[in-house]
């Protein structure tokens, strides 16, 4: 942050609320501006570096998880005209924060709104077999992902992309889109609203919603099961429970999977530790662990 300069910006204070790569990238971008920057982390993750980033750059930092704690911290941190940037944040803004005239709130969403509102949009992009998704920066209002958009950026979805890979692409696209609007927003206090994207997937997904309800089906095609596995796959991050599958009356949880998208005439047998689905689309090998059902 620039020391000793007279601020010509419309905001004295900028609060970044959220966690993960996009929150830190946004915070890093803001260091070049003459604002008082504050970081409010709302989820703890493996490999999180937001706190060390704050210490390195002498930026105010707090970790708060409950709704009451988050709201209290935000209200205490307000100073002058304040811009709140919600980046990978699960807290829903309500009440007083939305009515204060000196507060502007923008949010990052990893889909092209108004499509796929709510949680875990990269998973639902895969589940709905989209070849293109994207990101949206938008003003926050009383609804969930319903505020006016100020920036869009497209993201292509490969047929083998897992949810964590789509999410990673969205983080990169999100920073680029943010960089295109933040200067004008800080300088003028606003930025033009954009026309909404065509509405094709009018869903509001909650954290309890799971692609395919978390179940595979050996009677379905390899592609159908592979699609659900990819939609559930966030790598080391436990966003969803492990996928489940029934085979000959036994129930299994999925440990890992491999897909070869070439038809094969070779017969590959299932075993106690793996279930194989083979059809005209390819071969899907699912590494499993049997779930022992207690007899009541």
- DSSP notation for 81-149: SEEEEEES--PPP-GGGGT-TTEEEEEEESS-TTSSEES-HHHHHHHTT-SEEEEEEEE--SSSS-SPE
* Averaged pLDDT, 138-148: 97
Instruction: Report how far residue 43's alpha carbon sits from residue 89's, in angstroms, rounded to the nearest whole number.
Output: 8
Say which residue, 47 or 233, is predicted with more confidence. 233
pLDDT(22) > 80: yes
Indicate the pLDDT class of residue 148, thresholds 50, 70 and 90.
very high
Query: How many Å from the N-terminal Cα to the C-terminal Cα in the chain?
Result: 63
CATH 3.10.25.10, the chain: domain bounds: 211-290
Q: Quickly count: other Cβ atoms within 10 Å of residue 29's Cβ.
A: 16
Indicate the pLDDT class of residue 171, thresholds 50, 70 and 90.
very high
CATH 3.40.50.12230, the chain: domain bounds: 13-204
Q: pLDDT digits over 223-261, tens only? A: 999 999 999 999 998 999 999 999 988 999 999 999 998
Phi, psi of 190 (to 5 degrees): -160, 170
Give yes or no for a contact between 166 and 156, defined as CB atoms under 8 angstroms apart.
no
Indicate the pLDDT class of residue 3, thresholds 50, 70 and 90.
very low
Q: Quickly count: other Cβ atoms within 10 Å of residue 120's Cβ.
A: 24
Q: Three-state SS string across 170-205, please?
A: HHHHHHHHHHHHHHHHHHHCCCCCECCCCCCCCCEE
Q: Could you give the 3-state DSSP secondary structure of residue 159?
A: coil
What residues pair up with 105 in beta bridges, in sequence order? Answer: 84
Give yes or no for a contact between 14 and 31, defined as CB atoms under 8 angstroms apart.
no
pLDDT of residue 124: 99
% of the chain at pLDDT higher than 70 = 94
pLDDT(153) > 60: yes
pLDDT of residue 270: 74
Instruction: Report how far residue 202's alpha carbon sits from residue 256's, in angstroms, rounded to the nearest whole number.
Output: 32
CATH placement of domain 13-204: 3.40.50.12230
pLDDT(142) > 70: yes
pLDDT of residue 272: 80
pLDDT(146) > 90: yes
Mean pLDDT of the chain: 93
Q: pLDDT digits over 177-205, tens only? A: 999 999 999 999 999 999 999 999 999 99
* Averaged pLDDT, 89-113: 96
* Averaged pLDDT, 89-97: 93
In CATH terms, the fold of domain 211-290 is 3.10.25
pLDDT(265) > 70: no
Q: Three-state SS string across 63-88, please?
A: ECCCHHHHHHHHHHHCCCCEEEEEEC
Q: pLDDT digits over 109-132, tens only? A: 999 999 999 999 999 999 999 999
Tally helices (H) and strands (E) across the chain: 6, 13
pLDDT of residue 167: 98
Task: Write down the residue that tokens 């009677």 correspond to.
Answer: 219
pLDDT of residue 47: 67
pLDDT of residue 292: 85
pLDDT of residue 103: 98
* Averaged pLDDT, 156-163: 98
Give yes or no for a contact between 123 and 164, defined as CB atoms under 8 angstroms apart.
no
Nearest Cα to 284, choosing from 202, 234, 228, 246? Answer: 228
* Averaged pLDDT, 168-175: 98
pLDDT of residue 46: 67
Residues 6+ apart with CB under 8 A from 160: 230, 259, 261
Indicate the pLDDT class of residue 271, thresholds 50, 70 and 90.
confident
């Amino acid at each position: 942050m620039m020391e000793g300069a007279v601020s010509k910006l419309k905001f004295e204070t900028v609060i970044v609320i959220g966690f993960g790569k996009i929150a830190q990238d946004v915070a890093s971008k803001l260091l070049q501006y003459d604002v008082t920057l504050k970081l409010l982390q709302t989820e703890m993750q493996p490999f999180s570096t937001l706190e060390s980033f704050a210490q390195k750059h002498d930026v105010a930092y707090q970790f708060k998880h409950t709704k009451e704690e988050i709201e209290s911290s935000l209200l205490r941190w307000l100073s002058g005209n304040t811009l709140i940037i919600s980046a990978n944040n699960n807290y829903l803004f309500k009440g007083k924060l939305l009515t204060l005239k000196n507060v502007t709130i923008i949010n990052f969403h990893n889909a092209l709104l108004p499509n796929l509102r709510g949680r875990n949009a990269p998973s639902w992009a895969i589940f709905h077999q989209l070849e293109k998704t994207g990101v949206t920066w938008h003003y926050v209002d009383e609804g969930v992902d319903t505020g006016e958009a100020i920036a869009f950026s497209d993201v292509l979805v490969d047929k083998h992309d897992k949810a964590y890979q789509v999410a990673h692409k969205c983080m990169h696209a999100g920073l680029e889109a943010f960089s295109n609007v933040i200067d004008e927003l800080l300088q003028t206090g606003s930025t033009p609203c954009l026309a909404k994207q065509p509405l094709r997937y009018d869903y509001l997904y909650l954290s309890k919603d799971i692609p395919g309800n978390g179940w595979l089906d050996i009677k379905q095609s390899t592609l159908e099961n592979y699609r659900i596995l990819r939609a559930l796959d966030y790598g080391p991050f436990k966003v969803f429970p492990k996928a489940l599958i029934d085979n000959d009356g036994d129930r299994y949880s999925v440990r890992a999977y491999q897909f070869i998208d070439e038809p094969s005439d070779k017969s590959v047998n299932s075993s106690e530790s793996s279930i194989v689905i083979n059809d005209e689309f390819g071969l899907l090998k699912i590494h499993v662990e049997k779930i022992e059902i207690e007899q009541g």
